[in-house]
């Protein structure tokens, strides 16, 4: 029997010194390495938001890397909200920076 691979969504909000340190570019690089799609953007309050679509295991790896961040960042908190039954049609084709 063939296993069905389900795409899930993780909405991640990262707090700390995460703006002006290359965090969004770091997130794009991690996502591309792991085959994750979605987007990343700066929030007005100084945090960074990541919306990522992919296989849960790969998303967990990405979140672990976001907790570390690039060398110039200082991550103080990472909040994650999961949507386990995300509709495949909403899945973007790549991972990008929203401005």
**pLDDT band of 27, cuts 50, 70, 90:** very high
Domain 8-74+83-93 -> CATH class: alpha beta
Domain boundary assignment for the chain? 8-74+83-93
Grouping H, G, I as helix, E, B as strand and the rest as coil, residue 27 is helix
Contact of 54 with 35, CB cutoff 8 Å: yes
Inform me whether the pLDDT recorded for 90 exceeds 70. Answer: no
- Residues forming the active site: 24, 42
Inform me whether the pLDDT recorded for 4 exceeds 80. Answer: no
- Mean pLDDT over residues 46-70, rounded? 97
- Mean pLDDT over residues 82-93, rounded? 68
Global pTM exceeds 0.85: yes
């Amino acid at each position: 029997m063939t296993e069905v691979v389900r795409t899930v969504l993780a909405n991640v909000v990262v707090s700390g010194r995460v703006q002006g340190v290359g965090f969004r570019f770091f997130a794009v690089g991690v996502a591309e390495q792991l085959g994750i799609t979605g987007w990343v953007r700066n929030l007005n309050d100084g945090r960074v938001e990541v919306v990522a679509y992919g296989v849960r295991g790969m998303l967990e790896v990405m979140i672990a890397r976001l907790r570390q961040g690039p060398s110039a960042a200082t991550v103080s908190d990472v909040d994650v909200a999961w949507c386990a039954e995300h509709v495949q049609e909403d899945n973007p084709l790549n991972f990008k920076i929203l401005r």
